[in-house]
Amino acid sequence: MSPHADSAWHNSDDFWALFEEILFSPGRLAAAQAEVDQISSLLSIGDGARILDLPCGVGRHALEFAQHGHVVVGIDRTARYIERARAEASRR
């Protein structure tokens, strides 16, 4: 098996047709906001902190940390996830 075979399905247009709305649903985005608030509180993250989100997936948490004024770097092995995270960031 190719070392990248396990993530190949993420690159499929069929996958994105089925799951894009779920991945960026208002409920999931709201959950990320609550999760980031909780993480920030638990870790006492100060203003303008540098955050590494690894693996960042479609960027739900990275985008939310950025909304809180932090400097965020998101890394993921799936290029389509990074593309979607960038697209969502440009919409905000």
Q: Domain range for residue 77?
A: 26-91
Q: Which residues pair with 51 in a beta bridge?
A: 72
* Site of tokens 């070392």: 3
HSE-CB of 80 using CA atoms within 13 angstroms: 14
Give me 59's structure tokens: 């960027």
Number of structural domains (the chain) is: 1
What is the reported pTM? 0.75
- What does the pLDDT profile of the chain (92 residues) look like in tens digits? 455 555 577 778 888 788 878 877 888 878 999 999 999 999 999 899 999 999 998 899 999 999 999 999 999 988 888 988 999 899 88
83 in any annotated domain: yes
Rg of the Cα trace of the chain? 14
Answer yes or no: is 72 within a domain. Answer: yes
* Inside any domain, residue 2: no
Domain assignment present for residue 69? The answer is yes
